[in-house]
Structure 1
Amino acid sequence: MTGKTHIAIGIAAALTISYGQPLENQSVIVLVSAISSLIPDLDHPKGKINQKILLVKNNFYRVSFYVLVGIVFTYLYYLSKLKFLLFLGIGSFLVGISSHRGFTHSIVGFLVSTTIVSLGKLDYGLDSIYSGFIIGYFLHIVADLFTSKGVKLFYPLNNKISFPITIKTNSKFEKILFRLLVIYCVWLLLIQVI
């Protein structure tokens, strides 16, 4: 799936789940869900987020960047003893060495990522951020299960898993799905205002 479809899925689900909550909570859940719906693609040099932060869009540079970030976070952990920095270091290192649709698209990657965010939630009371993160990240993996390439759901096992019904990335069907999700999001926003 394309990045914009992942974002649309994350926003639609977040708006649905947070429906009726105070505007502040709903805004945070939707924003974080939109961002976290792109995080699994950090394992690809041309993922939406990597297009913004990587100076060179190739796999060697991506690996070097995330391994270096992992080392920096681990060093900061040893200076401060803040657990989430250690998890960020480990997570960044694993993102760096992961192949596309590997670690970040797996159950293990999901659990590591949500643990990192959970530590922030416990320390700083960021419940809305945690909820939005889970929604976006989880649905990214589910959406990629509908692609013919599938995901390494049980990483480090090398088997790629996909659903029997698949959607070709950037196909006419995906474009229709994207438009329907946008219409649904606009409708949800309108019924809340009325």
Structure 2
Amino acid sequence: MPGYKVHVSGSIVAGVVILLILVNIGMYVVDPQQVATLFILCILGALFPDIDTDSKGKRIFYTAMLCLSLTLIYFKQFQWAAYLGVLAMLPGISAHRGWTHTWWAMLVVPMPMLILPYYIYGQPFPTLMPYYMAFVTGYFSHLLLDRQF
């Protein structure tokens, strides 16, 4: 099975392909700061399925989650830090190649990025969709490379 470097590379390739398609059909205008955020989410999506085992990908993923949690706490966004903490713990309750390696998890795991901002702050779904899709794209690339389809 591919290691974390292959999954990160695969997510970057998948992200570039999707971004180029969206730009070429006029559905996305490049904003460098947003593109950086989208690629980070894409990479995290690619690492997520393997965080249920001891791996370099797991350490990278949880380091990013720790940094994000500390940033949220610094900005007094305690509710968001709590949501992130609960969601980050979920893979720890399953076996490797369990639910984290399913097509439905690819769609459900990033769902809080759509639902929580919508219900808590009234953010419209179209503004949240790029972030959701970036995570799903990375997740999809992982499952594809692991031949889960």
Deviates more, 1:32-41 or 1:122-131: 122-131
Structure with larger Rg: 1
Q: 1:98 aligns with which of 83, 94, 98?
A: 94
In the alignment, residue 50 of structure 2 is paired with which amino acid?
Answer: D
State the secondary structure of the residue aligned to 1:114: coil
Conserved in 1, the CA contact under 8 Å of 2:48 and 2:61? no
Structure (1 or 2) with the greater helix fraction: 2
Greater RCO, 1 or 2 (C-alpha within 8 Å, sep 6+): 2
Conserved in 1, the CA contact under 8 Å of 2:47 and 2:61? no
Gap change, CA 1:47 and 1:121, over 3 Å in 2? farther
Gap change, CA 1:103 and 1:33, over 3 Å in 2? same
Q: Distance in 1 between matches of 2:9 and 2:108?
A: 24
Divergent runs of 4+, >6 A: none
Q: Give the percent of matched residue pairs that are identical in Structure 1 and Structure 2.
A: 24
Unaligned runs of 5+ in 1: 55-78, 146-161, 164-194
> If the length of structure 1 is used for normalisation, what is the TM-score?
0.50
Unaligned runs of 5+ in 2: 24-28, 64-77
Q: Distance in 2 between matches of 1:115 and 1:88?
A: 15
RMSD: 3.0
Structure 1 position 140, deviation (Å): 0.7
Residue 24 of structure 2 is aligned to residue 22 of structure 1:
no
Q: Distance in 2 between matches of 1:119 and 1:88?
A: 16
Residue 1 of structure 2 is aligned to residue 6 of structure 1:
no
Residue number in structure 1 paired with 2:59: 50
Residue number in structure 2 paired with 1:150: none
Gap change, CA 1:51 and 1:129, over 3 Å in 2? closer
Residue number in structure 1 paired with 2:111: 115
Residue number in structure 1 paired with 2:70: none
State the secondary structure of the residue aligned to 2:115: helix
> If the length of structure 2 is used for normalisation, what is the TM-score?
0.63
